[in-house]
Amino acid sequence: MVLFDTSQIKKEVICVGPYLVPFLKTACLYFIINPEIGTIAHAVIKLLPLSFLITFVWAQGLRENKYNQWIMAGLSACALGDLLLVWQEAHDAFFLAGMACFGIGQIAYTVGFGLKPFGLKELALSSLVTGIIVHFISSCLSQPLSTIVPIYAMLLSFTAWRALARFNLNGDIPWRKIYAAAGAILFAFSDTVLAVNKFCTPLPYETPLIMISYYGAQMFITFSIINSRLTISQDKTTTSSKNNNNNNNALIKTSIDSC
């Protein structure tokens, strides 16, 4: 049986909660105002949430923290990609340039997450899922997208692989690894919905599906710079005399090292 110490989880929410306020407010503005696509207002409102995340990373310190530097680089590249995609309907070059920026962002996140542990199972899983999605979407693509989209999908799968490979239940689980894994999964979901909607078939509620998962992905990846830890302790107990079997009960406790 797995028990969660909810009081300690609440402490983690309290730790990061104040930083969420400006981000969530500006993210909500995007859906409330619903600016005309391809306008300056659209660009400003779309970039506001990421600007607060970038400010948060900057406030945590960059000079002596390589991880924060890579996350900042990824956020900045994605912000530039967002800006270019605002005008994607004006010319295809804006979409291609925006995709290139997001590709750079994925590389930055991947390097930041590191290459240890290797995570062979996670690599196989991310590669399999990516292969299935690319196979489905490729039939809807023409050149140069039939070459560029699979390359970007590969970069996205690398990000998911590295984030998931760092996440395991064999000891202490820093919240930063939980955030990174959640962010990578949401990023992959957002881009998959975007690709299917843009290239294959229109999807219902595509804008909220894409943008909510995208903003959530960037938020979780940003919060992965916070140094706090989820500790798992294994406690062996004996079951009742009815079955006379020994079971392992996992008691999950959370402790906030620092915020």
Number of structural domains the chain divides into = 1
Residue pLDDT, tens place only, 147-206: 999 999 999 999 999 999 987 655 566 888 999 999 999 999 999 999 999 999 999 999
Q: Which helix (H) or strand (E) holds 224?
A: none
SS3 241: coil
Q: What is the pLDDT of residues 87-137, one digit of tens each?
A: 998 888 999 999 999 999 999 999 999 998 999 999 999 999 999 999 999
Q: 226, 11 in Cβ contact below 8 A?
A: no
Residues in Cβ contact with 146 at an 8 Å cutoff, skipping those fewer than 6 apart? 138
Contact 4, 252 (CB under 8 A): yes
Can you give the residue range of the structural domain that contains 189? 2-255
